Structure 1
């Protein structure tokens, strides 16, 4: 196949870059989703694969304002009891740090002692 016939990854940048975790190839989220949809037709994606896809798509959308609600606060409390803050943060589109900070505020307001406080 000639180079011109190769599918476009949708990026203007150079090729792959090396990192300690392995090789990183810059592609647009939409292109990657189309490829993974093809894979997904033959088998279910693992949780790790799904998380990677979500992370790529979320990284493309950039930072957004997020308004915490009482419902989100309840979800944080429930997730912390099941050790699910990381997953919930991804579902809500916030960083883990933002979720943990909000959880600490919610616990303080409810009078629940937070580790590291007298």
Structure 2
């Protein structure tokens, strides 16, 4: 809930019911996130929406992703799992298998790495 106090000051109540005072001209909020990071906090954005100001004009600096270069070499075959995402066990995995190779002790050389084919 946003309440207009005067020209640029607002009182914003969060979901927890705690009131935060936001001043859009001074670019400050009582949560201190707006003051320290110079990036609008959720309370400042709520006050800007209530006052029909553009929230992208509140921040001091323009945030852009870093310039990146494509790494050398062949791209990875498997993607990096996101946070909270886990690998699923596939069907037909050989015990002790790592990728497509597994440790199989043949008669000649014990513990030689041997490729395992599907269906074989």
TM-score (norm 1): 0.27
- By relative contact order (CA 8 Å, sep 6+), the higher-ranking structure is 1
Give the helix-richer structure, 1 or 2.
1
Give the strand-richer structure, 1 or 2.
2
